[in-house]
Structure 1
Amino acid sequence: MLPFRRPSWRAFLACLVCFGFQSLAYADASWPAAINIGIQKGDPLVALRASGELEKVFSAHGVAVRWKEFVYGAPLVEAINTGDVDVGAVGSTPPILAQAGAAPGVVYVAFAPKLQKSYGIIVPARSTIQRVEDLRGRKIAFAKGSQGHLFVLKALADAGVPVTSVQFVYLNYSDARAAFERGFIDAWAVPDPRYADTELSTGARTILTIGQLSVAQYGFYIGSRDFARRYPAALRLLFDVLDKQTASELAHPAQTAEFLAQSTGVRLDVWSRALPRLEWGVHYPLTDEVVKAQQDAADLAYRERVIPRRVEVRDAIVDIR
């Protein structure tokens, strides 16, 4: 039986006790009428949505669960800012842009494990580019405001390559894939599962993975400051269920890949390649190490004029404990 199939309510409560959940921590809290969750392909919330388990858990508190899918992080941030979404998973760049711009109400509430191999800078199979230094005079694509944006900036800084010597091409994922295949761009910063799909379909080569940067990069769970302060128990319950299910899914990659292929429409071979390198999981509150790494990313964004002013990451954190 797949670990994410819907168990009975009694069995699920037994699992909560087994995993050491403090169910009483949720009992006296006020609960929202609904929780609106933003998801992107490749984040663990996709599997949680497909399993239906979160709806079952939240129904005990009279909370409806609504899912909204986004192509990358920047639109998700805007949805949180406007109140259409309460919480979602993003890379390091979107919350920095939010804090420095018109969405100061967007806050960090949890973080994912250190990013290692799930994001890569790739080049066509027959490209002469072998390393980041070879990108001088070349075109590299990424979605503006995405994790890939600061990934590329940090990669260039680590390699001593001036930003002015590289041409940035801001493309969404579908347009970037077409440009990559037609030779209109020389390199592409792309996350899984699109990363794995491009490797399998085109034979693309990786010249750098995100874990090779000089400073660790993390994924984050963000939400509105108002929701995080009013309903911390709802966020804790979401993250506790997500973390335990994620651990089970990653322990059964073959079954999980098959399940995701059936529920997302992404090919089985793509998920089979992507899953072993996805950094799924969730932890809270943010640690000093994570905050320091994210502050480095924010300072880089300011130096490279991605944001108009310097920001203090700690000012945008809500501790939901």
Structure 2
Amino acid sequence: MSALRCRLWQVLAALALCLGLQLPAFADAVWPSVIDIGIQKGDPLVALRASGELEKAFAPYGVTVKWKEFVYGAPLVEAINTGDVDVGAVGSTPPILAQAGAAPGVVYVAFAPRLQKSYGLIVPAHSPVQRIEDLKGRKIAFAKGSQGHLFVLKALADAGLPPSAVQFVYLNYSDARAAFERGFIDAWAVPDPRYADTELATGARTILTIGQLSVPQYGFYIGSREFARRYPGALRLLFDVLDRQTALELAHPTQTAEFLAQNTGVRLDVWSRALPRLEWGVRYPLTDEVVKAQQDAADLAYREHVIPRRIDVREAIIDIR
């Protein structure tokens, strides 16, 4: 373990003791032998994996923790649907697609704070585009089925523009970055830390952040219906450790950025820019406000033919309390 990692976690452990933070007892819970957790580059589970704290929390219950990394939400949803992953963090779009399509076994089990500044619609530094209305007839890129998909649709709806007013270009993150730098696309909906990386590398300008949409947008923790019903205690323990760890990490942004740079392969300057914008945290169960906002997103997805049928978000929620 590096000296930096030791110093960071000594600070965090000391703060936890000062605050009197303790994990609840789960003596009466049923435990899986393994919990498979899906992660994406900008979600708080990345830091939790690097810390090793979750493995310590699960050890007394004989649970092995396995981590699997995904580029964006849609493949993570598919992995949960096939049973390769038990739980993971995604934006608002993937669970809507899952419920409306071939993955009805994927359910909401918790949510993250309202998304504000961690997802941006960006344009090249010297682009004449200043606002969403200026993108008429131009190309907007995002990963199909990602949070960026509904972000763009909602942004257009807020501006009174139909999707036909622009050209959608479906690209994964690496391809979108290359297209953005070469001028093949006019705008890109992108999350942190890729958002921060692109700003620093290209001088990209933000014309809209996700928090400026007319309806709140949230991140979600999703799992398989079977796992959530059988092992709610395991999910509660995961989320309680995550919530405690996230509070400590955000209380020490400088050390956390250094720690993440060492453990993720993403540069320190990128994490230093992205970390203050990340809406890390976890709450359960889903509140009425969160459900209402997600239902708005699902209705938008249906109106714009992203999903083939109307859905009731509440039918895909498991209360793990």
TM-score range, shorter chain: over 0.9
CA contact (8 A) 2:91 2:218 kept: yes
* Corresponding position of 2:180: 180
* Equivalence map 1:77-88=2 (5 Å): 77-88=77-88
CA contact (8 A) 1:132 1:156 kept: yes
Counterpart residue type for residue 79 of structure 1: A
* Corresponding position of 1:141: 141
Counterpart residue type for residue 21 of structure 2: F
Q: Percent identity?
A: 83
* Corresponding position of 1:101: 101
**Residues in 2 aligned to 1:225 and 1:117: alpha-carbon distance in whole angstroms:** 31
Q: CA deviation at 1:49?
A: 0.3
CA contact (8 A) 2:36 2:68 kept: yes
Please tell me the root mean square deviation across aligned C-alpha atoms, in Å.
Answer: 1.7
Q: CA deviation at 1:249?
A: 0.3
**Residues in 1 aligned to 2:274 and 2:7: alpha-carbon distance in whole angstroms:** 19
Q: 1:182 to 1:249 in 2, by over 3 A?
A: same
* Corresponding position of 1:224: 224
Q: CA deviation at 1:161?
A: 1.2
CA contact (8 A) 2:12 2:249 kept: no
* Equivalence map 1:189-268=2 (5 Å): 189-268=189-268
**Residues in 2 aligned to 1:233 and 1:127: alpha-carbon distance in whole angstroms:** 51
* Structure 2 gaps, min length 5: 1-5
Q: CA deviation at 1:319?
A: 0.2
**Residues in 1 aligned to 2:9 and 2:91: alpha-carbon distance in whole angstroms:** 25
CA contact (8 A) 1:6 1:52 kept: no
Counterpart residue type for residue 297 of structure 2: A
Q: What secondary structure is seen at the aligned counterpart in 2 of 1:60?
A: helix
Q: CA deviation at 1:21?
A: 3.5
TM-score (normalised: structure 2): 0.96
TM-score (normalised: structure 1): 0.96
* Equivalence map 1:271-286=2 (5 Å): 271-286=271-286
* Corresponding position of 1:313: 313
Q: CA deviation at 1:146?
A: 0.2
* Corresponding position of 2:21: 19
Q: CA deviation at 1:4?
A: 3.6
Counterpart residue type for residue 223 of structure 1: G
**Residues in 2 aligned to 1:232 and 1:253: alpha-carbon distance in whole angstroms:** 31
**Residues in 2 aligned to 1:17 and 1:98: alpha-carbon distance in whole angstroms:** 40
Which whole-Å deviations, capped at 9, do the CAs of 1:252-299 have from their partners, x for residues lacking one?
000000000000010000000000000000000000000000000000
Higher mean C-alpha deviation, range 84-93 or range 159-168: 159-168
The aligned length equals 316
* Corresponding position of 2:301: 301
Q: What secondary structure is seen at the aligned counterpart in 1 of 2:97?
A: helix
Which aligned segments of 4 or more residues in structure 1 are displaced greater than 6 angstroms? none
